[in-house]
Structure 1
Amino acid sequence: MRSFFALVALVSAAAAVFIPPHDIRDDNESTESIVASLTASNHFGAPNAPQVAGATPGWYFGDDPASADGLPWLKDPDLCASLAADPTALHCPAGTAFRGTYYEVFYGLNASIQAPDYMTFGLVDTVSDCETMCDSVTGCNFINPYHDVNGKDGSPLLTCSLYSQFHTAADADNFGGQTQSDGSIDFITDSAGYDRTGP
């Protein structure tokens, strides 16, 4: 009988262990934490510019959610609704119509822009997607889409960097050279620059 009471006491003690409620701030994958990370003060999820060692894209805007590879997918209806509810957050581009007009300044370079007016960078399927992203970010006036070879684990996606000021090929002096987690060295190809004009 004593062993029965000992067992009951042990079970009661185990049940009395306090389990704190789930704190959403501790969940890096929660919608709320994603929305909080996609603000201008955090360069919309990419606080380090692409040329900084260890920099990672802040978002993916394209048609294949599997290509997001853990990045916030800016065509996810639920995420887009949450982002739209926060005036400080990056908002998902609405539709595909461009509000601005883009003029090619340079193309085919093996270097990307690095400049102090850096706003954010992410991944896109096409140059048009990069233009659409610029249209959705207040103050964006220049895009620099390019292939960061080895920098995206073999992904064919374009890196899309956004800037607030206009640039020329003379500002394209990031040739890559960052060592990746697998030991490979990244390099830049097919870098282009486009000025944005219009509302």
Structure 2
Amino acid sequence: MKIVVFGANGRTGHEIVKVALDRGLVVRAAVRNSASISQQNGHLDVVEYDLQEFETVKRAIEGCDAVISALGSGNPRQAAKPTSLYSNAARTMTDAMRGQTRRLLVLSSGAVDDSGQGPWIYQCFFRPYMMNTYIDMARMETILEERSDHIDWTSVRPTYLLNGPSKPYKVFDRFLECSGYKINRIDVATFCIDQLQETRWIHKMPVLAYE
């Protein structure tokens, strides 16, 4: 199987690429600047793309069996600003996938599901600070729902992302069901790669968290 990972040079994208290569998959890392990828592997190739240039996205997807979007703002200050990154990426990628491949996984956030759930620091600080990002993630998910006829999408909703070793985690249908609010990037990556062979979470928005 060959996959393309957009945002492969980000912290979660890097973990996704690593897990995929460890599983023996062929990986195409799609980044805006190829110099940002230093990893070398016989099953890894690097391509540059620009979301504003449709043909570069289409070429990145050509020949791949699945698409994973690990795009992100890059830093907390940027994440607080109004954005259309996620919704624009959803439109461009799903258009580029038409006639090529159906399987798409995107990274969203458990916080998109505003249930009033979570510790006070999350409700009073993190969620208000990141609201612009969550609003656009919700737009992204709406676009995916509208294009379910030709896209087998899964919107992965991790809780608060951390670096750390893999450990047992749970998958929930809704953020409201979570008893914990953290997840390590390696486990998000593992879940994403696992879904390439699974159908349970197609057209759904699973939330990942530790207990």
TM-score of the aligned structures, taking structure 1 as reference length: 0.29
Structure (1 or 2) with the larger CA radius of gyration: 1
